[in-house]
Chains A and B, each alone.
Chain A
Amino acid sequence: DQQVKQNSPSLSVQEGRISILNCDYTNSMFDYFLWYKKYPAEGPTFLISISSIKDKNEDGRFTVFLNKSAKHLSLHIVPSQPGDSAVYFCAARDVHGSSNTGKLIFGQGTTLQVKP
């Protein structure tokens, strides 16, 4: 099941620069997308989300962009900080399915390293 894909397993950026993490999806029924950050031995921590009716959502240093026609979303972190170093997961939710449970489907994750 590859409904949500993060094709870059890792990304390395310099402190202060922009980090761009990408995510592609195949299911056009996804209505809500989320980014989670995960440190080793901890649970995923919610970062930012976007509804499918929007194309951009911003929260401080984090901005998520959604391109529905391309079925692509990206997370921008500006400026990047060493504390941002973690695994970032893209997740998508389909509430139009018959169960309507809001289950999340995750990508494989991208490991971000921000170098001082």
Chain B
Amino acid sequence: EPEVTQTPSHQVTQMGQEVILRCVPISNHLYFYWYRQILGQKVEFLVSFYNNEISEKSEIFDDQFSVERPDGSNFTLKIRSTKLEDSAMYFCASSRTSGGFGTQYFGPGTRLLVL
């Protein structure tokens, strides 16, 4: 069964460093998402991506964040200068459509720890 994969599973970084989180969505999916979950809190939407551009972003997704689909398979989230409060689980998701029965399937997550 196709699944969303994410690398790395864990990342520890120093405050101010850049990190890139990688995702391989399900191959025939067209919509891509990043969510995050700070420990003990809700899963929160960060950004959606369709047709090689951002279609929606949340207030959390400020200028320090960027997303890219550098080739036909990878989808990346970059945080340019990490802050302590960026420590969270980051989940990538993908779906075939945004409407109808376009279920989003999630990857296993990357646990980011900023020291």
Partners in one complex: yes
- Provide the residues of chain B in CB contact with A42, threshold 8 Å: 108-109
When A43-B4, A43-B107 are in contact, do A102 and B31 touch as well, CB less than 8 Å?
yes
When A49-B101, A101-B50 are in contact, do A107 and B56 touch as well, CB less than 8 Å?
no
A89 within 8 A of B: yes
Residue count of chain B within 8 Å CB distance of chain A: 29
27 contacts between A and B (CB under 8 A): A34-B103, A36-B106, A41-B109, A41-B111, A43-B6, A43-B106, A43-B108, A43-B109, A46-B103, A49-B103, A89-B43, A95-B98, A100-B99, A101-B48, A101-B56, A101-B98, A102-B31, A102-B95, A102-B97, A102-B104, A103-B48, A104-B35, A104-B104, A105-B45, A107-B42, A108-B41, A109-B42
- B contact set with A: CB distance below 8 Å: 4, 6, 31, 33, 35, 41-45, 48, 50, 55-56, 91, 95, 97-99, 101-109, 111
